Amino acid sequence: MIIAIDFVFLPDYYFTQSYTQLMNALGRHILVEFYNCSPELMNDVVHIENSMVAAAETAGATVINSTFHHFSPYGVSGVVVIQESHLAIHTWPEFGYAAVDLFTCGDSVDPWVSYNYLKDAFEASHGSAMECRRGQLDLLKRNDFNLESLRDVSPQPQEKLGTITRDVWFTERDENIALSLKHTGNQLYKKDSPYQRVEVYETLAYGNLLTLDGMVMCTQKDEYVYHEMITHVPMFSNPKAKRALVIGGGDGGTVRELLRYEQLEEVTLVEIDELVIEACKLHLPETAVAFDNPRLNLLVEDGIKYIKECADERYDLIIVDSADPVGPGEGLFTAEFYQEVYRCLTKDGIMITQSESPRFNSAVFVEIYDTYKQIFGAEKVHCYLAAIPTYPTGTWSFSYSSKGEAHPLTFDVNGAAAFSKAQGLKYYNEDIHMAAFALPNFVKELLNAKPGQVTNEYSAEPTA
């Protein structure tokens, strides 16, 4: 048994038996405690996974695969399987503490190299470690049996030399519901803006994924659903629209769709966070493609301030392409804000908002529709749905509120069919335009409910 403790002056210091005595065993197992680590890093699954894989490789180990999971609200667990056994970790960010297991067999790998690598990687002020010999040979009796009979002869998938299967998952977790997406372990973008954390992951199933404060905003593989439905439904039921305003929408998908309409004389995008635009230009280029369009009036400012200072009746269409009602976007879900939107719409203007999921958080859904109705009039407010796989519950809603006589189902059906075909749209067409307004009974019930009336019956998340 070897005990190593970083003393107050923090030099690594430990007693050890001779190497051969040590190696009179099948393996070396170092149980490590790292203290005063950066809580930030202790909650960063990508950093931890990358560090553990690098710590193994630096010590000369051959990495087979890695599996890491991010817990809610915080904490990471994971294991790196190496040819010479494994490295494992569990973190408590709230204590700045990590419990690490370094287990190696054979003499080609020195686990203390991994120890030092991780101590630096986790910015630990000090650590303590205990080394145990596992499988002491003088206590083991070798059974002579035909090893060949154990050999697994089934054909193994040809893995590219040097490739390791890394099993790293991004998880957006709410109270009772979560979505996990496997990614390559490489974080393409991670910056903190004054408003939020902006991150891009390289997922295996959905391409690059944009998250804000850990919430899914859009992925390359399904963003078109959201962006086509939030634009083409209002544009085809308001063909005379000349001026459109988008508040939020910093990924660029909504203005990409709007700029397909030559008749639009002005398309203004007001996004509060320039880092969102930067991240999407770099890693979601198909979504950000319209940022260089000369017809786009791109403003980086707070949409709440912009709408307050905007002239009356300036826009035919105002799309509120916000994130969830938290952080900088909270103010985009208030009656004051919607009242201002109403003022800035022309007589026949339309307001479209992403209105959350009736299933995910019914209470918010009921509240915002109640507010729309108070401002636009109950008969002028409509809800439509779309299936977005990477959004919580997969069912998302949009609100359609008209200041004038525009009605979502009064639209040029043939025009929509031809446009969808000509533009190569992947979700929107004349049938889905109509079908999206065919609502299930529970949604109709929620739309007629008053705030506070909602039971937990429909909501995936707690309503109270």
Q: Is 304 near ligand SAM (CB under 6 A)?
A: yes
Q: Which of residues 78, 93, 111, 328 is near ligand SAM by CB under 6 A?
A: 328
Q: Which of residues 244, 270, 363, 368 is near ligand SAM by CB under 6 A?
A: 270
Size of the site for ligand SAM (CB under 6 A): 25
Nearest-CB residue for ligand SAM: 248
Structure tokens, 140: 């083991």
Closest CA to 327 of 153, 208, 211: 211
Q: Which of residues 49, 222, 271, 370 is near ligand SAM by CB under 6 A?
A: 271
| Shortest Å distance, C-beta 438 to ligand SAM | 22
| Cβ atoms within 10 Å of 405's Cβ, excluding its own | 9
- Compute the Cα dihedral for 326, 299, 385, 197 and give only its sign: negative
The C-alpha R_g of the chain, in whole angstroms, comes to 28
**Contact indicator for 265, 297 with CB cutoff of 8 Å:** no
| Shortest Å distance, C-beta 218 to ligand SAM | 5
| Shortest Å distance, C-beta 387 to ligand SAM | 14
| Shortest Å distance, C-beta 234 to ligand SAM | 16
CA distance 342 to 334: 12
| Shortest Å distance, C-beta 217 to ligand SAM | 4
Cis peptide before 39 (omega within 30 of 0): no
CB contact set of 325 (below 8 Å; sequence gap of 6+): 332, 333, 356, 364
Q: Is 354 near ligand SAM (CB under 6 A)?
A: yes
Looking at 96-104, 117-125, 171-179, 271-279, which segment touches ligand SAM (CB under 6 A)?
Answer: 271-279
Structure tokens, 127: 């650590």
Paired with 127 in beta bridges are 34
In whole angstroms, how far apart are CA 331 and each of 320, 341, 452?
A: 11, 13, 20
Q: Is 386 near ligand SAM (CB under 6 A)?
A: no
Residue 202 amino acid letter: E
CA distance 267 to 282: 22
Q: Is 98 near ligand SAM (CB under 6 A)?
A: no
For the question of residue 431 being annotated catalytic, the response is no
Q: Is 332 near ligand SAM (CB under 6 A)?
A: yes
Q: Is 255 near ligand SAM (CB under 6 A)?
A: no
**Contact indicator for 384, 353 with CB cutoff of 8 Å:** no
Q: Which of residues 217, 241, 269, 366 is near ligand SAM by CB under 6 A?
A: 217
Paired with 98 in beta bridges are 34, 91
Closest CA to 114 of 123, 122, 102: 102
Q: Which is nearer to ligand SAM, 217 or 432 (CB)?
A: 217
In whole angstroms, how far apart are CA 280 and each of 137, 274, 287?
A: 57, 10, 7
Looking at 85-93, 302-310, 425-433, 452-460, which segment touches ligand SAM (CB under 6 A)?
Answer: 302-310
Q: Which residue out of 321, 324, 370, 431 is catalytically annotated?
A: 321
Q: Which of residues 255, 272, 425, 446 is near ligand SAM by CB under 6 A?
A: 272
| Shortest Å distance, C-beta 270 to ligand SAM | 5
Q: Is 392 near ligand SAM (CB under 6 A)?
A: no
Paired with 161 in beta bridges are none
| Shortest Å distance, C-beta 423 to ligand SAM | 20
CA distance 88 to 59: 15
Q: Which is nearer to ligand SAM, 46 or 276 (CB)?
A: 276
Q: Which is nearer to ligand SAM, 182 or 197 (CB)?
A: 197
| Shortest Å distance, C-beta 310 to ligand SAM | 13
CA distance 117 to 77: 18
Q: Which is nearer to ligand SAM, 79 or 272 (CB)?
A: 272
Q: Which is nearer to ligand SAM, 120 or 175 (CB)?
A: 175
Active site residues: 321
Contacts to ligand SAM by CB under 6 A: 212, 217-218, 226, 247-251, 270-273, 276, 302-304, 321-323, 328-329, 331-332, 354
